[in-house]
Amino acid sequence: MSLFPLFHWLQSTEFFAALSGSQLVYPIVMTVHLACIAVFGGMILMTDLRLLGLAFTNYPAAEFVGSLRTGKRIGFCIMVAAGLLLAGSKAETYYGNPYFWAKLTLLALVAVHAVVFRPRVYAKLAELDRAGVMSAEAKVAAYISLVLWIGILCMGRLIAYYEPPRSPF
Amino acid sequence: MLLQGSPIGDALSADWIFPTAECFHISAFALSIGTIALVDLRMMGMGLRRYSAAQMIGDTEPWTLLGLLIVVFSGLVLFASQPRIYYPNPALRFKIAALVVAILYNFTIHRKLALSDVSLMTSRLAAGVSMLLWLSVVSGGLFIAFV
């Protein structure tokens, strides 16, 4: 079953048609999306660098992650909401855009990352703090997180550069 | 202006350079403004409260600088690919002006207030101004494509 009819319908709803037609609202939603990337993305990058022992080395990792958790969750929700608005208003073009699907795949892998590493690393940070050294697993989790999120940022940018093959008609 | 049509301009307008520079631009943007935002949040009394704003500066500044270096360099590459189109763009001019003010503010007033013992009110004000300045840089950048 193809999802195209769904994407086509979404874009043609009055709501998304108005959004994509707006010279002002669309860029503002984009600004919100980007501002969240800076604040929330910055928190993720620094968390990964903390686990790698490259930043905030004297700050207990458990507390570091704990203090940023609420901020990350709020940021993530606003970022996704703005992202859905952006994607919804261009749903038809996004449907055929491989970078869009690559971005969604990477986001799904972020969920897998959370399921795999939360019990092994993020729930055990206090233990790692007491041991005074980050486990190899924690570093692997941080490297994978860095690769996933930088990948998501890049795929997001590249969505704009994909040109669909010309229709033969 | 001189860049367009020159060997450097031609090299920079190759198909893959622009998207690649965009990837560096956005990743380094998250790093630079993200680290500044962490300091701002701390100055507002939120986030990493175990550290003082001064300690936050010490731990984030190398990353902020690295991020700014990459973001400015990749931005120059983006600009150099089509300077004749970008140079007159009012959103770009606004962005550059906001960027200059934001950088100057960040490394002078903002830094000084973060490093010294000031009232929460002053600290919050300084952080709010910082956030507004960086937000105007970001929105200015976005509007380049829309004006």
Query: pLDDT of B32-45, one tens digit each?
Result: 999 999 999 999 99
| Structure tokens that stand for B52 in this block | 């003082």
Kindly report the pTM of this predicted structure. Answer: 0.89
Question: Is A64 touching B (CB cutoff 8 A)?
Answer: yes
Establish if B65 belongs to a structural domain.
Answer: yes
B interface mutation test: which of A30, A34, A72, A129 has the most B CBs within 10 A? A34
Contact A55 B33 (CB under 8 A): no
| Structure tokens that stand for A76 in this block | 């993530």
Point out the residue among A31, A156, A157 whose CB comes nearest to the CB of B139.
A31
Establish if B2 belongs to a structural domain.
Answer: no
Q: What is the pLDDT of residues B95-140, one digit of tens each?
A: 999 999 999 999 999 999 999 989 999 999 999 999 999 999 999 9
Average the pLDDT over A83-110 and give the result.
Answer: 93
> Is A1 a residue whose pLDDT tops 70?
no
> Is B94 a residue whose pLDDT tops 60?
yes
Collect all residues of chain B within an 8 Å Cβ-Cβ radius of residue A160: 22
Which pLDDT does position A130 carry in this prediction?
93
Establish if B57 belongs to a structural domain.
Answer: yes
Contact A42 B33 (CB under 8 A): yes
Establish if B19 belongs to a structural domain.
Answer: yes
3-state helix, strand, coil in chain B (%, to 5): 80, 0, 20
Establish if B1 belongs to a structural domain.
Answer: no
Q: Which residue of A has its CA nearest to B140?
A: A31
DSSP string, A105-130: HHHHHHHHHHHHHHHHTGGGHHHHHH
DSSP string, B46-76: -S-TTS-HHHHHHHHHHHHHHHHHHHHHHHH
Collect all residues of chain B within an 8 Å Cβ-Cβ radius of residue A148: none
Contact B60 A156 (CB under 8 A): no
Mean model confidence pLDDT for chain B: 90
3-state helix, strand, coil in chain A (%, to 5): 80, 0, 20
CA-CA distance, A39 to B38, in Å (whole number)? 7
**Contact (Cβ atoms closer than 8 angstroms) between residue A146 and residue A65:** no
> Is B65 a residue whose pLDDT tops 60?
yes
Which pLDDT does position A167 carry in this prediction?
65
CA-CA distance, A117 to A113, in Å (whole number)? 6
Residue range of the domain that includes B126: 7-146
> Is A165 a residue whose pLDDT tops 80?
no
Residue pairs spanning A and B at CB distance below 8 A = 95
Contact B22 A71 (CB under 8 A): no
Which pLDDT does position B73 carry in this prediction?
96
Domain count, chain B: 1
Collect all residues of chain A within an 8 Å Cβ-Cβ radius of residue B25: 157
Which pLDDT does position A169 carry in this prediction?
58
Confidence of residue B11 (pLDDT cuts 50, 70, 90): low
